[in-house]
Structure 1
Amino acid sequence: MTEPSSTRNLDRYGSAELPWSRPRDILAEDTPGEDLTFFVATVRPDGRPHSAGVGAIWVEDALYFTSGPGTRKSRNLAANPACSVAVRLRGMDLVLEGEAHRVTDTDTLERVAAVYRTGGWPATVEDDALTAPFSAPSAGPPPWYLYRLTLHTAVGVAGAEPNGATRWDFTR
């Protein structure tokens, strides 16, 4: 399991530090079955930011998402893998920061495609990418690359009890 190497309580109102297990377990339980909206922010070659929605899921303690090879986000990640992913979970807003790298090994592609299928997206592996009869318009045309986010930091702000705000740092 990915565990933080350090944590920092960001709460100003006396709430306790939040455990990493809280957002991690929600991600594991709610993806891909719940209707969660993930946004990935990447950096353009000229330094300007770019944000776009992605179909993301938590599999085997890691966040994966898809994107077509011709999309701006895929082109940005090819030049600079640094990115952040934001999502509103049950009772918590979460931002994950790190590096997203393309996954091409067949075993991982098959495992992740199987999880996507449990959520209703009929993904299959074709060569070193995923394909399906449909995807979000922002994903571009098939095939779709699969990316794995290597976590560097995460920040969670809980809007439900127990409240709090915490930063988790992960060893690089």
Structure 2
Amino acid sequence: MTHHEPVETTNLDRYDNDVLPWSRALGGLEKELTEDTPVFLGTASPDGRPHSAGIGPAWVDGELYFTSGPGTRKSRDLAANPACTVSIRLRGLDLVLEGEAARVTDTATVERLAGVYSAGGWPAEAAGDALTAPYSAPSAGPPPWHLYRFTARTAVGVATAEPHGATRWRFAH
């Protein structure tokens, strides 16, 4: 997403605060996103039933990745409908990203992300077009785990620290 600058910015603030710059959200994603950052994926089942689950994200070269077992509800939802949200609590900014998640199967990316996750403390390894490790979060299901790349279409940021504000950014795709 670093190569995607907003094509439209809308001030959602009701208290005369200025538009928040996208660079504030992007800086938080680049510098603060760790395994301890609260991040939730929102999906919908084919019958429209909402679902939310915590995910362990990786921010690599301006792209947001996460993993999920193929039998989990979030993976089944994404297979039927890739539209989803990613909600993130950054320092001083709550961020909700709306877009799509697509499974990543190319070996080079899977191997690279296995290395990123491993360097971050989760001992992931590439296993063909998926990841494996001795353990993962209970919500991930059993191994192997699929790798997903999230692409944002819009983002909404609400500042919880000075300077305050609320802004929506729309991206071209």
TM-score between both structures, scaled by the size of structure 2: 0.95
Find the counterpart in structure 1 of residue 25 from structure 2: 23
Percent sequence identity is 67
Find the counterpart in structure 1 of residue 10 from structure 2: 8
8 Å CA contact 1:131–1:144 kept in 2: the answer is yes
In structure 1, C-alpha distance between the alignment counterparts of 2:153 and 2:57, rounded to whole Å: 18
Find the counterpart in structure 1 of residue 120 from structure 2: 119
Matched ranges for 1:159-170 at <5 A: 159-170=160-171
Task: Indicate the SS of the match to 1:5.
Answer: strand
Runs of at least 5 residues in structure 2 that lack an aligned partner in the other structure: none
In structure 2, C-alpha distance between the alignment counterparts of 1:14 and 1:111, rounded to whole Å: 44
Find the counterpart in structure 2 of residue 99 from structure 1: 100
In structure 2, C-alpha distance between the alignment counterparts of 1:15 and 1:23, rounded to whole Å: 16
8 Å CA contact 2:43–2:84 kept in 1: the answer is yes
C-alpha RMSD over aligned residues: 1.1
Task: Indicate the SS of the match to 1:138.
Answer: helix
Structure 1 residue 163 displacement after superposition: 1.0
- The amino acid that maps onto 1:145 is H
Find the counterpart in structure 2 of residue 74 from structure 1: 75
Greater displacement, 129-138 / 21-30: 21-30
Task: Write out per-residue CA displacement over residues 76-114 of structure 1, whole angstroms, 9 at most, x where no aligned residue.
Answer: 100100000101111110101100000001111122222
- The amino acid that maps onto 2:55 is V
8 Å CA contact 1:10–1:166 kept in 2: the answer is yes
8 Å CA contact 1:88–1:94 kept in 2: the answer is yes
In structure 1, C-alpha distance between the alignment counterparts of 2:165 and 2:146, rounded to whole Å: 36
Runs of at least 5 residues in structure 1 that lack an aligned partner in the other structure: none
Report runs of 4+ in structure 1 exceeding 3 Å deviation: none
Task: Write out per-residue CA displacement over residues 96-148 of structure 1, whole angstroms, 9 at most, x where no aligned residue.
Answer: 11000000011111222222122211111101011111110000001111111
